[in-house]
Amino acid sequence: MRIPAIVCVSLFLSSPVLAQSEPPSQWRDLFTGRDLAGWTNINTAPETWTMRDGLLINTGKPIGVMCTDRMYENFVLHIEWKHLEAGGNSGVFAWSNAAPRPDNRLPDGVEIQMLELDWPKLHTRDGVVPPVEYVHGEVWGVGGVRTVPDNPRGERSSSVENRAKGRGEWNVYDVVAVDGVIKLAVNGKFVNGISKSTRKKGYLCLEAEGAEIHFRNARILELPPGVTTPEQTAPARP
């Protein structure tokens, strides 16, 4: 029987060997369900992000991000999301500096894409439809962060199976990030990833990129640190 990766992580954290040295890590909610405590709005409007009925509502406007108040290195992230508009665009940045780039208002890091399924159809140009891989959880380094794709589509890594759901339906991402490697599960199956990231520690950022998207059940399990140099760590925000 094949044991899922997240179960393996949980078994490792509860092992007697680890317990002898450090107390086991615990899952921690990233949203309070009431307010935005623990997050900083970097370059969007005050009304871009709101908590309502336990959901984080992101209007998508203006384009920009909010980030966690602290950095993360090795972790497991669980987050659920759904788009409300056809072709909606968003994502989460791991190991980011949370500093917007002047050319597009978004930071560096490893981007884990969250696109609504109609995005390729709505971005057809001269009869050419963008690849369907765009909308099923692509992962890649941005803003100078370099990665090696598991399933290359240029510099990006594309999921080996199309598992994302369309607008109005909840999608589940489970992200395992360890020592410069990221593995992404989409709706219950690991289908994508990258390795050899030049950034191994930084902030988590959620992206506003033009369309309303909802998030819920965001939680993180921190794993033991690795050997990460200052060059592999994002600069601390002021």
Whether 190 is covered by a domain: the verdict is yes
Residue 226 is assigned to a structural domain of this protein: no
| 22 part of a folded domain | no
Residue 236 lies in a domain: no
* Residue 159 is assigned to a structural domain of this protein: yes
pLDDT block averages, 10 residues each, the chain of length 238: 51 49 82 95 97 95 97 98 97 98 93 96 92 94 98 97 97 98 98 98 97 97 97 96
- Could you list the beta-strand ranges (E) of the chain: 27-29, 39-41, 49-52, 55-58, 64-68, 75-83, 89-96, 109-115, 139-142, 148-149, 152-153, 156-157, 171-178, 181-186, 189-195, 203-208, 213-222
Strands in 203-208's sheet, in edge-to-edge order, are: 39-41, 64-68, 203-208, 89-96, 109-115, 139-142, 156-157, 152-153
- CATH code, domain with 206: 2.60.120.560
pLDDT the model gives residue 199: 98
The answer to whether residue 61 sits within a structural domain is yes
pLDDT of amino acid 21 = 58
Query: What pLDDT is stored for residue 186 in this prediction?
Result: 98
CA distances from 79 to 3, 148, 157, 198 (A): 21, 24, 20, 24
Specify if 115 maps to a domain: yes
Tokens of 116: 């609504």
Domain residues for 139? 27-221
Residue at 21 is within a domain: no
Give me the number of domains the chain comprises.
1
Q: What is the pLDDT of residue 1?
A: 46
What is the pTM for the complete model shown?
A: 0.90
